Chain A
Amino acid sequence: MRPGALPRLRRDALIFAGLLAAYLLFSGIVTNSYYQLMLTLVPVWAVVGLSWNLFSGYVGLISFGHAVFFGLGAFAVALSMSLYDLNPWLGILAGTVVGALAAVLIGLPTFRLRGHYFALSMLAFPLVLLYVFQFLGWQEVSLPMKRQEPLLWLQFTDPRGYTWVALGLLAIAFGISLAVENSRFGLTLMAIRQNELAAEASGINLRRWKMMALVLSGAIAAAAGGFYACILLVVTPEAVFGMLTSAQALTVALFGGVGTVWGPLIGAAVLIPLAETLHAELGNIIPGIQGVVYGVAIILVMLLAPEGIFWTLRDRWARLAAPPPPRPRIPAPLRIATAGGAGPLLKVSGLTKNFGGLRAVDDISFEVAPGEILGIIGPNGAGKTTLFNLLNGVLPSDSGTAWLDGQALGGRKLHAICRMGVGRTFQVVRSFPRLPLLDNVLIGAYGAGLTGAAATAAAEDALARVGLLHQAGQPAGQLTNKGLRLMELARALAGQPHLLLLDETLAGLGREECDEVLTVLRRLREAGMTIVIIEHTMHAMLKLADRFVVIDRGRLLASGPPREVVEDPAVIEAYLGRKWLAKTCSK
C-alpha cells in the first residue's frame, strides 16, 4: 500500500459500492429485455476497459490487440461447452488461465519493442488468431441451449441474471484495479509509463513489472470474453478477435480517462448505450449514419477532453485539497556503505564507447574517493552524458571497466546497478505531474527494494534532505523548475545510494536558485555522500567541486583541483577556442 492510499481506497470503494447498489436497483426494475441487455453490456465492456487500462493505462504501452485475450476467453468457454459440455463458470476460469498464458507468450517477444512498434505488433496477434481459428474450422461455435439450472449454465431466462453476473465480474475487476492503482505495483507501472529509462535507473526491473501487468490484464480480458460468449451464444472469430473488439477496449478507456479506475467505467457507461441507441434510432432512418455520429461524438470529446472525461471533469470541478504535509523530521543519517579499505569508491579504467565511426568515449580512466564531489566538465558533445550512461548501465561499453566499491559494474543491467547503490538524475526532469511529490519520490525507494513503511520513511527523509518535505502532498505538476530538480535529486536519494550521478542538475536555474541547490548538495557531502556531477555552469562548479575531470571529444583532457584545471591552456582552448587562448596568454 502506498502512503496516503488508504483513505483514497476507502473513498473509491465506497463510491463504487454506492454506484453498484444503484445500478443493481435500476436493473431490477427494468423489464424490457433489450434495455436489460444494454445494462449487461455496460459492465462487460467496462471490465474490458479496466483490463486495457491496467496494462496500457498504467504502463503506457498502447495495446491495439486486447481482442486476443478477449477472444481466447470467449473461445475457451464456447469450445469447452460445445465440445466437452463443460460448465461455463469453469470455462471462464480456464479462459482466464489461457489469457494469462497468452500474455506471457505475447510479452516475451514484444516487450523488446517500444512505443509505436509495440502497439503495431500487438495489432498482429488477434489478426493471426482470427485466421488460425477460421483455419481450425471454428468459424461459428454456438453454445448448446440449456433449459435447466440457468445460474449453473449462465443461460438465464430472466435477462437480469446476466446483468448481475456482469456486475459481479466488474466488482472483481474494479477491486483488482483499485488495489493495483493504490499499491507499489501501480506506482511502479506509472513510473515506467513516465520514463522507462528513469524508472529503470531507479532500480525497477522493467520486464518483470510489465509482464505482471500484462498477465493480470490478459486474465481479466479473457474472463470478460468468456462471459461475453455466454451472452452472445454464438462465437465467431470476427466477433471476438476483430479489430472492433480491440478498438472498443481502447475507446472506452481513452474516452473515460486513462490511468484511473474510473475512466473505463465512465467510458462504457456513456459509449455502449450511445452506440446502441444511435444504431437503434438513427440507423432506422439512414442506415449506417450511426457510425458517423458515433465517430464524430468521440472526436469531439477527444478534442474537448483530451485526457478523457474523468481527468477533465476532475481538473475543472474537484480541485482536490492537498493532504497535509508530513510532520517535519530530522532525516536519519545517510546509510553510506563503508568501503572495504581506503580505496576509491568508484574506479574507472579505460572506458570506451563507439557509435559507428564516432568514438564518443575514448579510453577514460579516473577515480572518485568516498565523500568527494567530482565535477565532470567539457563542451557540448564531449561525451559526458555517454560516460554516465556507461557507468550506470544504460549503454554497454565497448571496452574498459568500472568498479564500485571493488565490484565490477560492467555487464550489469541498469536496475541492478541502481540496487548496488548508484543513483542517477537526468538532464531532462521526468516527473509524474498528477502524483503528489511523495509518490514521485517513493518510486526511488521502491526501486531500491524498500517496501511499506521503510519506503515511506526513506522517501520522507529524502524530501527533508532537499528541503521539500513541506510540499510532500502537492502534485509535482505545481513545482517550479528548481523544485523539480530537487525532487529528482530526492528520488535518487530515496534509493539510498552510495554514489550519486547528477546530470546537469543546475541547468536552467537562476543564480539564487542555483545557490539553493548548491547548499543542498554541500549538505549531502557533509553527510558523507559521494557525488559525480556533470555541469556547464562554471561558477557554480568552482564553488562546489573538490576536483574536476575535463572531457573533450570523448577524451580525458585534464583532471585536478578546480583552480588548476580552469587555468590549463588545453582546457581553455577546448572551451573557448584557440583565439581566446591566444588572447589570455598574451595578457
Chain B
Amino acid sequence: MTDSGFTRRDALALGAGMAALGGAGRARAQAPAEVKVALLAPISGPWARQGLLMKMGAEMAIDDINASGGIRSLGGARMRLVVYDAGDSTEKAKNAAQRMVAQEPDLAGGTGAWLSSFTLAVTEVTERAELPWLTLSYADSLTSRGFRYIFQSSPTNDNQAIAVLPTLMALAERATGKKPTRLGLISDSTASPQSFVRPVRATEAAKYGLRIVVDETFTPPLSDATPLIQKVRSARPDFLLFIATNVPDDKLVMEKLNEYGLGQAKLPTIGNGGHMAVPELVQLTSPEILEGLMVCMANWPGKDQEALTRRFVERTKEPWMGHDSIFPYAHMMIFREAMERSGSADRNKVAEAIRGFDIRNEGPALFFPSKRLKYDARGRLEDAQLVTVQWKSGVPQLVDPPSMATAAAYWPKG
C-alpha cells in the first residue's frame, strides 16, 4: 500500500502472480508460495481450553482465506498457520516464543498468547525479532513499553473500566427509569482484575454518582464464596461488578448468589472477560444459575456475523462462537489485509501496513465492535469498544451495542 520499496521478493511474488493470471493454464511451476503466520497460545495446562478455542478461530480464518484464493497480491499464496504451545507458565510461553522465532525465520506475523502475563513475555521476544504481533490481551502494560510491533485489539483494562460504567448506567436507566446509586465490587487479586477495579474505585464510580457499598478482593482459587456474598447481601448494592479470571471462581460466586436469592439478575451482576461466557460455565452450573448474568468484554460476534457463527458451530461442534475464537479469526484477516496491501510477506512490511490501517466498515474492521480498524502509535486499537453479552437460557446473547445485539438486555425493574 503506502510502501514504495520494490524488493526482489516483491518481484518474485509479482512474477508468480502474473504467471498465475496469464500463464499457460495449470502449469505446475507457478504453484503459489506459502506464507506462514503463528498462533502462540496455551494448548496445555490450565488455560488449554482457551488456547484451543483460539486455534479453532484461527484455523477457520486460514481455511476461509485459502478457499477464497489466498493472498492475491502474492499470487494467491496460501496462508499457513503454525501453532506453538505457551504452556502453563510465563517461562514456558517465553521459551515457546524463542523457539518460534528461531525455527520459523519466515513468519509474517503472529497472534497470542491469551493471558496478559504470557503476552508480556512473548512480546519481549517478538519485539526483538521485529515480528508483528496481534493480541487480545487486556493489560495496559502491553502497550506502554514503547514497543513498535505489538498491536492490541481490545480496549485496555483501564479503558474497559472507564467504558463499562456508562454502558451499564444507560442499560439500567432504560430498564428501570432511574439511575442506580449503589455499586458492589468483587474482584480477584490477580493483575488484570486489579487494574480493572483501580480506576473504578479512584474516579469512575464517583463520576456517575455511584457509591461503592461493598468492595471485596479475594485470592484465587476461591474455596468458599459464602463470606463474600454475605457481605454483598447485607450491603444491598443496586448492581454488582464481579471481576474474576477463571471458570471455577465464576461458578462458586454465581452459585452462591443464587443460594442467597440474589441470582437470576435479582441483583444485576456484571462480569468481565471471555471466561464468563464459555460453554464450560453452563455445564458446571446450570442455565438457571447463569440466567441474566451480564459479561462485558472486548469482542463477540453479533448479528452481523451470524453466518460466520453458524459456520463455526457446524465446523467445530462448539455451541457458539465467542470472544476467544473471534479474535484470532479477525487477526488472521488483518494479516491477510496487511499482506494484500503491502504485497509482501516480509514481517517489517506487514507491520508497516498494519500501522497504516485506517479501515471503517469493511474488510477485517467488520470483525470488531467499533467496525473501525486503526492502531495508534502505541499499538492500541483506536475507539476500541466493549460489547456486553447476557446469559439467556444457557446461551450468551449479545445485548450491547444495540447495532450488533441478538437479544434485548434484561435488567430487573427492582
Q: Which A residues fall within an 8 A CB radius of B?
A: 32-35, 37, 41, 131, 134-135, 137, 139-140, 142, 144-145, 157, 232-234, 236, 238-239, 242, 244, 276, 279-280, 283-284, 287-288, 290-291
Asked if B48 and A288 sit within 8 Å, CB to CB, the answer is: yes
Q: Separation in Å of the B298 CB from the closest CB of chain A? A: 19
Report the separation of the CA atoms of residues A157 and B194 in the bound assembly, to the nearest whole angstrom: 34
B378 at the A/B interface (Cβ < 8 Å)?
Answer: no
With A32-B102, A145-B145, A239-B91 already in contact, the answer to whether A232 and B85 are too (CB < 8 A) is no
Asked if A37 and B95 sit within 8 Å, CB to CB, the answer is: yes
The stretch that binds A, out of B62-70, B120-128, B352-360, B365-373, is: B120-128
With A34-B99, A244-B89, A279-B87 already in contact, the answer to whether A134 and B145 are too (CB < 8 A) is no
Q: For A131, what are the chain B residues with a Cβ–Cβ distance below 8 Å?
A: 189, 219
Asked if B219 and A232 sit within 8 Å, CB to CB, the answer is: no
Asked if A34 and B89 sit within 8 Å, CB to CB, the answer is: no
Asked if B91 and A290 sit within 8 Å, CB to CB, the answer is: no
Q: For A236, what are the chain B residues with a Cβ–Cβ distance below 8 Å?
A: 90, 117
Q: For A134, what are the chain B residues with a Cβ–Cβ distance below 8 Å?
A: 189-190, 219
Q: Chain B 103-116 against A: per-residue CB contact (8 Å), 1 yes, 0 no?
A: 10000000000001
Q: For A232, what are the chain B residues with a Cβ–Cβ distance below 8 Å?
A: 90-91, 94, 121
Nearest residue (CB) in A for B51 is A287
Q: For B387, what are the chain A residues with a Cβ–Cβ distance below 8 Å?
A: none
Nearest residue (CB) in A for B55 is A287
Q: Separation in Å of the A569 CB from the closest CB of chain B? A: 70
**Segment 125-158 of B: residues with Cβ below 8 Å from A:** 127-128, 139, 141, 145-147
Asked if A238 and B89 sit within 8 Å, CB to CB, the answer is: yes
Report the separation of the CA atoms of residues A33 and B90 in the bound assembly, to the nearest whole angstrom: 18
Q: For B124, what are the chain A residues with a Cβ–Cβ distance below 8 Å?
A: 142, 145, 233-234
B40 at the A/B interface (Cβ < 8 Å)?
Answer: no
Q: Separation in Å of the B249 CB from the closest CB of chain A? A: 15
Q: For A137, what are the chain B residues with a Cβ–Cβ distance below 8 Å?
A: 194
Q: Determine which residue in B90, B91, B102, B121 has the highest number of CB atoms from chain A within 10 A of its CB, and name it.
A: B91
Q: For B83, what are the chain A residues with a Cβ–Cβ distance below 8 Å?
A: 284
Asked if B145 and A142 sit within 8 Å, CB to CB, the answer is: yes
Asked if B128 and A157 sit within 8 Å, CB to CB, the answer is: yes
Q: For B194, what are the chain A residues with a Cβ–Cβ distance below 8 Å?
A: 137, 139
With A37-B98, A144-B145, A145-B146 already in contact, the answer to whether A239 and B43 are too (CB < 8 A) is no
Asked if B116 and A140 sit within 8 Å, CB to CB, the answer is: yes
Q: For B319, what are the chain A residues with a Cβ–Cβ distance below 8 Å?
A: none
Q: For B103, what are the chain A residues with a Cβ–Cβ distance below 8 Å?
A: 32, 34
Task: List 4 additional A-B contacts (Cβ < 8 Å) besides A34-B101, A139-B117, A232-B121.
Answer: A131-B219, A232-B90, A276-B95, A280-B99
Asked if A291 and B94 sit within 8 Å, CB to CB, the answer is: no
Q: For B102, what are the chain A residues with a Cβ–Cβ distance below 8 Å?
A: 32-35
Q: For B91, what are the chain A residues with a Cβ–Cβ distance below 8 Å?
A: 232, 239
Q: For A144, what are the chain B residues with a Cβ–Cβ distance below 8 Å?
A: 145
With A139-B190, A142-B141, A239-B90 already in contact, the answer to whether A279 and B85 are too (CB < 8 A) is yes
Q: For A291, what are the chain B residues with a Cβ–Cβ distance below 8 Å?
A: 44
Q: Separation in Å of the B119 CB from the closest CB of chain A? A: 9
Nearest residue (CB) in B for A280 is B99
Q: List 11 A-B contacts (CB under 8 A).
A: A37-B98, A131-B219, A137-B194, A139-B190, A142-B124, A145-B124, A145-B145, A232-B121, A238-B90, A238-B117, A239-B91
B402 at the A/B interface (Cβ < 8 Å)?
Answer: no
Q: For A239, what are the chain B residues with a Cβ–Cβ distance below 8 Å?
A: 89-91, 117
Q: For A33, what are the chain B residues with a Cβ–Cβ distance below 8 Å?
A: 98, 101-102
Report the separation of the CA atoms of residues A142 and B92 in the bound assembly, to the nearest whole angstrom: 16
Q: Separation in Å of the A88 CB from the closest CB of chain B? A: 15
With A139-B190, A234-B117, A288-B48 already in contact, the answer to whether A145 and B89 are too (CB < 8 A) is no
**Segment 30-65 of B: residues with Cβ below 8 Å from A:** 43-45, 48
Give 6 nearest A-B pairs by CB, closest first.
A139-B191, A34-B102, A288-B44, A287-B44, A287-B43, A233-B124
Q: What does DSSP make chain B's interface, helix, strand, loop or mixed?
A: helix
Asked if A283 and B117 sit within 8 Å, CB to CB, the answer is: no
Asked if B121 and A234 sit within 8 Å, CB to CB, the answer is: yes
Q: For A290, what are the chain B residues with a Cβ–Cβ distance below 8 Å?
A: 44
Report the separation of the CA atoms of residues A421 and B56 in the bound assembly, to the nearest whole angstrom: 77
Nearest residue (CB) in B for A233 is B124
Asked if B191 and A284 sit within 8 Å, CB to CB, the answer is: no
Report the separation of the CA atoms of residues A288 and B116 in the bound assembly, to the nearest whole angstrom: 21
Q: Separation in Å of the A71 CB from the closest CB of chain B? A: 13
Q: Determine which residue in A33, A41, A144 has the highest number of CB atoms from chain B within 10 A of its CB, and name it.
A: A33
Q: Separation in Å of the A321 CB from the closest CB of chain B? A: 44
Q: For B191, what are the chain A residues with a Cβ–Cβ distance below 8 Å?
A: 139-140
Report the separation of the CA atoms of residues A35 and B102 in the bound assembly, to the nearest whole angstrom: 8
Q: For B146, what are the chain A residues with a Cβ–Cβ distance below 8 Å?
A: 145
Report the separation of the CA atoms of residues A242 and B91 in the bound assembly, to the nearest whole angstrom: 11
Asked if B43 and A283 sit within 8 Å, CB to CB, the answer is: yes
**Given A140, A287, A288, which contacts B139 in the complex, CB threshold below 8 Å?**
A140
Q: Separation in Å of the A249 CB from the closest CB of chain B? A: 14
Q: Separation in Å of the B351 CB from the closest CB of chain A? A: 17
Q: Determine which residue in A34, A37, A145 has the highest number of CB atoms from chain B within 10 A of its CB, and name it.
A: A34
Nearest residue (CB) in A for B42 is A287
Q: For B90, what are the chain A residues with a Cβ–Cβ distance below 8 Å?
A: 232, 234, 236, 238-239
Nearest residue (CB) in A for B48 is A287
Report the separation of the CA atoms of residues A142 and B94 in the bound assembly, to the nearest whole angstrom: 13
Asked if A283 and B219 sit within 8 Å, CB to CB, the answer is: no
Q: For B44, what are the chain A residues with a Cβ–Cβ distance below 8 Å?
A: 283, 287-288, 290-291
Q: Determine which residue in A145, A238, A276, A287 has the highest number of CB atoms from chain B within 10 A of its CB, and name it.
A: A287
Q: Separation in Å of the A215 CB from the closest CB of chain B? A: 27
Q: Separation in Å of the B137 CB from the closest CB of chain A? A: 11
Report the separation of the CA atoms of residues A452 and B146 in the bound assembly, to the nearest whole angstrom: 59
Q: Separation in Å of the B3 CB from the closest CB of chain A? A: 24
Q: Separation in Å of the A505 CB from the closest CB of chain B? A: 55
Report the separation of the CA atoms of residues A422 and B323 in the bound assembly, to the nearest whole angstrom: 76
Q: Separation in Å of the A165 CB from the closest CB of chain B? A: 17
Q: For B190, what are the chain A residues with a Cβ–Cβ distance below 8 Å?
A: 134, 139
Report the separation of the CA atoms of residues A33 and B147 in the bound assembly, to the nearest whole angstrom: 21
Report the separation of the CA atoms of residues A137 and B194 in the bound assembly, to the nearest whole angstrom: 8
Report the separation of the CA atoms of residues A288 and B89 in the bound assembly, to the nearest whole angstrom: 13
Nearest residue (CB) in A for B146 is A145
Report the separation of the CA atoms of residues A206 and B264 in the bound assembly, to the nearest whole angstrom: 63
Q: Separation in Å of the A295 CB from the closest CB of chain B? A: 14
Nearest residue (CB) in B for A147 is B128
Q: For A35, what are the chain B residues with a Cβ–Cβ distance below 8 Å?
A: 102
With A232-B90, A279-B92 already in contact, the answer to whether A284 and B189 are too (CB < 8 A) is no
Nearest residue (CB) in B for A135 is B189
Q: For A283, what are the chain B residues with a Cβ–Cβ distance below 8 Å?
A: 43-44, 85, 87
Q: Determine which residue in A37, A242, A244 has the highest number of CB atoms from chain B within 10 A of its CB, and name it.
A: A37
Asked if A140 and B145 sit within 8 Å, CB to CB, the answer is: no
Nearest residue (CB) in A for B91 is A239
Q: Determine which residue in A134, A140, A232, A239 has the highest number of CB atoms from chain B within 10 A of its CB, and name it.
A: A140
Q: Separation in Å of the B124 CB from the closest CB of chain A? A: 4
Q: For A233, what are the chain B residues with a Cβ–Cβ distance below 8 Å?
A: 94, 121, 124
Q: For B147, what are the chain A residues with a Cβ–Cβ distance below 8 Å?
A: 145
Q: For B101, what are the chain A residues with a Cβ–Cβ distance below 8 Å?
A: 33-34
Q: Separation in Å of the B149 CB from the closest CB of chain A? A: 12
Q: For A242, what are the chain B residues with a Cβ–Cβ distance below 8 Å?
A: 89
Nearest residue (CB) in B for A155 is B128
**Given A32, A37, A140, which contacts B117 in the complex, CB threshold below 8 Å?**
A140
Q: Separation in Å of the A183 CB from the closest CB of chain B? A: 35
**Segment 74-97 of B: residues with Cβ below 8 Å from A:** 83-85, 87, 89-92, 94-96
With A32-B103, A238-B90 already in contact, the answer to whether A142 and B120 are too (CB < 8 A) is yes
Report the separation of the CA atoms of residues A287 and B86 in the bound assembly, to the nearest whole angstrom: 10
Q: For A276, what are the chain B residues with a Cβ–Cβ distance below 8 Å?
A: 95
Q: Separation in Å of the A124 CB from the closest CB of chain B? A: 15
Nearest residue (CB) in B for A157 is B128
**Segment 347-404 of B: residues with Cβ below 8 Å from A:** none
Q: For A41, what are the chain B residues with a Cβ–Cβ distance below 8 Å?
A: 95
Nearest residue (CB) in B for A137 is B194
